[in-house]
């Protein structure tokens, strides 16, 4: 029987060398697929993590940019990779949560194709306003919207964006009617807010650090569970005194995933190393510069966060009938 077991083990070693040699990982350069083009916040974060991992493990971690279709092209490539610990996926909220709701033709099921490694950070959406805007708080913004149903213009960076979904959820919770003004990105939206062509907007906080720091624009509230460290004076929605948001809190994320079947030992090694990076000064400094806060934690923490975001945004996507097929 011992010989039979040994023979089976030998065959397993021949068939699955990556799985059988998990203790020796990494023996060659692993790849982290970033499903966006180079130069954005996802690419910046992924490259910083890859550099740390390269130094930590003594093997170069390679960043492979595969953009297109909202990140689903890169995710598809990662889903088809061997689960040997040499391919990982960098997944922001759109890839880990939203794409499965809005794309009906994905050739992978995210929950079946991947296992969680770690959540890297949290990012905020912000209700932002021109300094001359009448409302100085989120509660005052709500009062204005209620006083002028359908008259208050509120900009968003695009149809189907998470800021669009937050504004829709706000309108649903508070039974508000606002005039949604979609822009082609955060840059044009920010420009019109600064110029006074538009008084109010909802967008990602990371695109407004300069304007808020110089008081070119003012923040009414962030959508996160608590305040963001870079702007500690800006209240979270659940602190604004608006009763319908007393239990509200949501944050975007960037995360690392592996193809399903990747050895647990490799997942644990990656998780421990990246937690070390997030706890260190370099990680905290980078995230602060991007208006994000470090999170880390266990793979189970990441899975729970994705489940929570799916439960929140799923009904909103259906309400808005957002499809990108």
SS (H, E, C) 233-251: CCCEHHHCCCHHHCCCCCC
Provide the pLDDT for residue 324: 81
Mean pLDDT across 120-141: 98
Collapse the DSSP code of 294 into the 3-class scheme (helix H, G, I; strand E, B; otherwise coil) and give the result.
strand
pLDDT for 15 equals 45
Statement: residue 94 has pLDDT above 70? yes
Q: What is the model's pLDDT at position 8?
A: 36
The CATH class given to the 125-245 domain equals alpha beta
pLDDT for 160: 87
- pLDDT confidence of residue 12: 42
Among the ranges given (40-44, 77-81, 113-117, 320-324), the one the predictor scored with the smallest mean pLDDT: 320-324
Please tell me the predicted confidence (pLDDT) of residue 21: 57
Residue 252 has pLDDT above 80, yes or no: yes
* Pair of tokens at residue 17: 């060398």
Question: Which of the four pLDDT bands, split at 50, 70 and 90, describes residue 181?
Answer: very high
The sheet with strand 252-259 has its strands ordered as 62-65, 31-34, 87-92, 252-259, 114-123, 292-294
Residue percentage of the chain with pLDDT more than 90: 87
Q: Is 148 helix (H, G, I), strand (E, B) or coil?
A: coil
The backbone torsions φ and ψ at residue 59, rounded to the nearest 5 degrees and listed phi first, read -130, 140
Concatenated DSSP letters of 60-73? PPEEEE---GGGHH
Sequence-distant (≥ 6) Cβ neighbours of residue 311 within 8 angstroms: none
One DSSP character per residue, 159-184 reads TTSHHHHHHHHHHHHHT---EEEE-S
CA distance 46 to 64: 10
Looking at the predicted structure, is the pLDDT value of residue 11 above 70? no
CB atoms within 10 A of CB 311: 9
How confident is the model over 23-38, as a mean pLDDT? 94
Q: Is the pLDDT of residue 289 over 80?
A: yes
Portions of the chain given CATH number 3.40.190.150: 25-123+252-320
Residue range 110-117: average pLDDT? 98
Question: Average pLDDT, whole number, for the chain?
Answer: 92
Average pLDDT rounded to a whole number, residues 197-206: 97
Is the predicted pLDDT of residue 1 greater than 50, yes or no?
no
Q: Is the pLDDT of residue 129 over 70?
A: yes
- Tokens at 49, concatenated: 């993590």
For residue 322, which of 16, 144, 97 has the smallest C-alpha distance? 97
Q: Is the pLDDT of residue 304 over 50?
A: yes
Cα separation, 215 vs 37, in Å, equals 31
Query: What is the spatial distance between Cα 325 and Cα 312, in angstroms, rounded to a whole number?
Result: 22
The pLDDT assigned to 300 comes to: 99
**pLDDT at 323 (0 to 100):** 87
What 3-state class would DSSP assign to 87? strand
Q: Is the pLDDT of residue 303 over 50?
A: yes
The answer to whether residue 202 scores a pLDDT higher than 50 is yes
Residue intervals of the chain classified under CATH 3.40.190.10 are: 125-245
CA 164 to CA 316: how far, in whole Å? 10
**Residue 179 — very low, low, confident or very high, per pLDDT cuts 50/70/90?**
very high
Residue 53 in this model has a pLDDT that exceeds 80: yes
Q: What are phi and psi of 166, to 5 degrees?
A: -65, -40
- pLDDT of 91 higher than 50: yes
Mean pLDDT on 305-318: 96
**How far apart, in whole angstroms, are the C-alpha atoms of residue 129 and residue 271?**
39
Q: Is 3.30.70.890 the CATH number for 25-123+252-320?
A: no
- Report how many helices (DSSP H) and strands (DSSP E) the chain contains, helices first: 14, 11
Residue 26: band (very low, low, confident or very high) from pLDDT cuts 50, 70, 90: very high
| Average pLDDT over every residue of 216-243 | 97
Q: Compute the distance between CA of residue 292 and CA of residue 230 in angstroms, rounded to an integer.
A: 8
pLDDT for position 40 = 86
DSSP 28: S
Q: Are 156 and 164 in contact (CB under 8 A)?
A: yes
The rounded distance, in Å, linking the Cα atoms of 180 and 163 is: 11
Cis omega before residue 26 (within 30°)?
Answer: yes
Confidence of residue 39 (pLDDT cuts 50, 70, 90): confident
Q: Which helix (H) or strand (E) holds 146?
A: helix 138-147
Residue 5 has pLDDT above 50, yes or no: no
């Amino acid at each position: 029987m011992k010989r039979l077991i040994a023979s089976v083990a030998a065959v397993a070693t021949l068939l699955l060398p990556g799985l059988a040699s998990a203790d020796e990982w990494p023996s060659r350069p692993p790849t982290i697929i970033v499903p966006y083009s180079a130069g954005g916040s996802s690419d910046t974060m992924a490259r910083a993590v890859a550099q740390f991992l390269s130094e930590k493990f003594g093997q170069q971690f390679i960043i492979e940019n595969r953009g297109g279709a909202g990140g689903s092209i890169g995710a598809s490539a990662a889903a088809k990779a061997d689960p040997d610990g040499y391919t990982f996926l960098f997944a922001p909220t759109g890839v880990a949560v939203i794409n499965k709701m809005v794309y009906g033709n994905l050739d992978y099921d995210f929950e079946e194709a991947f296992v969680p490694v770690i959540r890297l950070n949290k990012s905020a959406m912000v209700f932002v306003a021109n300094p001359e805007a009448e409302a100085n708080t989120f509660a005052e913004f709500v009062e204005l919207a209620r006083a002028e149903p359908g008259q208050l213009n509120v900009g968003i960076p695009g149809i189907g964006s998470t800021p669009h979904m937050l504004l829709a959820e706000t309108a649903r919770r508070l039974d508000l009617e606002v005039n949604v003004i979609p822009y082609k990105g955060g840059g044009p939206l920010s420009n019109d807010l600064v110029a006074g062509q538009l008084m109010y907007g909802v967008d990602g906080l990371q695109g407004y650090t300069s304007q808020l720091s110089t008081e070119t624009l003012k923040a009414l509230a962030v959508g996160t569970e608590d305040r963001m460290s870079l702007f500690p004076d800006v209240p979270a929605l659940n602190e604004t005194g608006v009763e319908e948001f007393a239990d509200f809190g949501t944050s975007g994320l960037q995360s690392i995933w592996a193809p399903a079947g990747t050895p647990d030992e490799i997942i644990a090694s990656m998780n421990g190393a990246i937690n070390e990076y997030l706890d260190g000064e370099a990680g905290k400094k980078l995230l602060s510069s991007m208006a994000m806060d470090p999170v880390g934690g266990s793979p189970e923490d990441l899975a729970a966060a994705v489940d929570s975001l799916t439960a929140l945004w799923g009904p909103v996507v259906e309400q808005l009938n957002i499809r990108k097929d």
